[in-house]
Structure 1
Amino acid sequence: MSGEGRPPIQFLLSDMDGTLLLPDHSLSQRTVAAVRALREAGVWFSLATGRPPRAMLQQIEALGVDLPTAAFNGGTIVNPDGSFLVRHHLPVEVAITALALLSPQPQVEVWVFADGEWLLRDPHGPLVPMEQHALGYAPVVVERFDEYLPRIDKIVAASANTEMLMELEARLLTQVEGRAQASRSQPRYLDVTALQANKGQALITLAAFLGVPLARTAALGDGGNDPAMFRQAGLSIAMGQAEAAVKRQADLVTGSNVVDGAAEAIERFILPR
């Protein structure tokens, strides 16, 4: 929903990487101040990200988030005390299918998130250092993923070859249709999660938890996993550097994360005037 006649926003759900965070994964003072201004104005704020819960703690503290937050694209919703409001694991048969497709690809690093750990077989993959910096903790090296199959929160295919990831996304979607989600959270990352693990469902769950009508919610993001919440929100805002297909699905477009586009969106479109 867009236009001057839209109802006031009571709850904003925001993506993290590529949205709130700068390219070096830090938060600008302007963004921190914008989120603080939201809270002072009585507008609820929370996070929805492809990250695991463990990799959200620093940002939750810095932004003063005191609501449940959505990790793994909404597959896990964590209460402030660390307990789970929602948790959906990837079906075993889907995990087997995804690993069979992704593992043989020569330019793809396959990461598995389960039991609170980041699991991989090759610690020397070129994208590992960047991911370790973003998450704030090191991976656990394993020979096989078999023992984790019943408890997988997310599988990630990481590659600098974005065209290959787009092809793999299309192939995987045909194989897991109706059983799981497959979307690129960032150009280099293809996420595979449970069918219920999408940011749209996370927005619905959190809005119901808060007692806020969806028409009074807003969603802010930049990746291929964000239009799911755009479709549910009363107001949807895409970041300026998002792919054209993502921006087409949003009501409004703000600046890029390099120029504090998230703070700009909060100041211009969300905060009560």
Structure 2
Amino acid sequence: MSGPGQQPIRFLLCDMDGTLLQPDHSLSPRTLEAVRALRDAGVLFSLATGRPPKAMLQQIEALGVDVPTAAFNGGTIVKPDGSLLVAHYLPATAALTALALFADQPGVEVWVFSGGDWLLKDPNGEMVPREQHGLGYPPVVVESFEPYLERIDKIVATSNNAQLLIELEAQLSPKVEGQAQVSRSQPIYLDVTAMQANKGDALATLAEYLGVPLEQTAALGDGGNDPAMFHRAGLSIAMGQAEDAVKRQADVVTAANTEDGAAQAIEKYVLLR
């Protein structure tokens, strides 16, 4: 993170859920226009999200994104032609530790993402309809996660009990220190990914690939997985509805996603520079 000086912004990396997208997962006309204005101004634009790659395709097309995008919090970076630029998998030992901690927690559903599939044991979980709506495709029901341990992109513990997820994050982080990243991408989602799967490294990788100095990059987000890119970007912008701990790590704060905060940030902090 650095102060908002006068360096021109040549590349903006943007979170999706809670940032670019409205609560119903749609893109507002103002947001579409703001991203179009970025492209017209010659500013590169891409997405960094906890979502799987195929859950980004509709937004990539709508926004006209023509550079690599970062899925699974940066664990997978995909080129526009669908080929992989980067792929980092969660170590099996860390996966087993997380799954053991999450097992039988009251009110917590556990999902595993592997090989492009969303895996779960209980298809009737309370959180499933929301996720299916957001991803745009259904889960695969499995009896066990063990056959997938060697190629897990992300484990998610999800619950409407946000305080419980805070407590689980605090419990799990020291258990997998040096092996995995643990962060709440949203108050109701606790993500576990490979150490290299973080948006800060994703920003650095994409900037190098695109030939843009980090000083001329901007990062925009709202979740606990976004400060990793805030600390690497030349300009960092937090959404208005973000938790205070996230806002404190950004250079500036824009409006909430319900108020087209992403579009406002693009107009005020990127295009005007």
1:230 aligns to 2:225 (yes or no): no
Structure 1 residue identity aligned to 2:220 = L
Q: Deviations over 1:107-128 (max 9, x none)?
A: 1000000011000000011010
Give the Cα separation in 2 of the matches to 1:66 and 1:272. 23
List runs of 5+ in structure 1 lacking aligned partners.
none
Determine if contact 1:182/1:191 at 8 Å carries over to the other structure: yes
* TM-score normalised per structure 2: 0.99
Give the Cα separation in 2 of the matches to 1:6 and 1:164. 42
Aligned to 1:73: 73
1:2 aligns to 2:17 (yes or no): no
Determine if contact 1:8/1:272 at 8 Å carries over to the other structure: no
Determine if contact 1:41/1:272 at 8 Å carries over to the other structure: no
Is the partner of 2:157 in helix, strand or coil?
strand
Aligned to 1:183: 183
1:37 aligns to 2:37 (yes or no): yes
Q: How does 1:106-185 map to 2 (within 5 A)?
A: 106-185=106-185
Q: How does 1:22-33 map to 2 (within 5 A)?
A: 22-33=22-33
Give the Cα separation in 2 of the matches to 1:107 and 1:6. 48
Q: Deviations over 1:45-88 (max 9, x none)?
A: 00000000010000000000000000000000000000000000
1:93 aligns to 2:102 (yes or no): no
1:55 aligns to 2:62 (yes or no): no
Is the partner of 2:30 in helix, strand or coil?
helix
1:83 aligns to 2:83 (yes or no): yes
Q: How does 1:183-262 map to 2 (within 5 A)?
A: 183-262=183-262
Is the partner of 1:249 in helix, strand or coil?
coil
Give the Cα separation in 1 of the matches to 2:243 and 2:37. 29
Give the Cα separation in 1 of the matches to 2:103 and 2:27. 34
Q: Give the CA RMSD over aligned residues.
A: 0.7
Determine if contact 1:77/1:202 at 8 Å carries over to the other structure: yes
* TM-score normalised per structure 1: 0.99
Structure 2 residue identity aligned to 1:123 = P
Give the Cα separation in 2 of the matches to 1:265 and 1:229. 16
Is the partner of 2:153 in helix, strand or coil?
strand
Alpha-carbon offset, residue 2 of structure 1: 2.8
Is the partner of 1:35 in helix, strand or coil?
helix
Is the partner of 2:80 in helix, strand or coil?
coil
Give the Cα separation in 2 of the matches to 1:173 and 1:84. 28
Aligned length: 272
Is the partner of 2:124 in helix, strand or coil?
coil
4+ runs of 1 displaced by more than 2 Å?
Answer: none
Alpha-carbon offset, residue 272 of structure 1: 4.0
Give the Cα separation in 2 of the matches to 1:103 and 1:64. 41
Alpha-carbon offset, residue 6 of structure 1: 2.5
Determine if contact 1:156/1:191 at 8 Å carries over to the other structure: yes
Give the Cα separation in 1 of the matches to 2:253 and 2:163. 25
Give the Cα separation in 1 of the matches to 2:223 and 2:270. 20
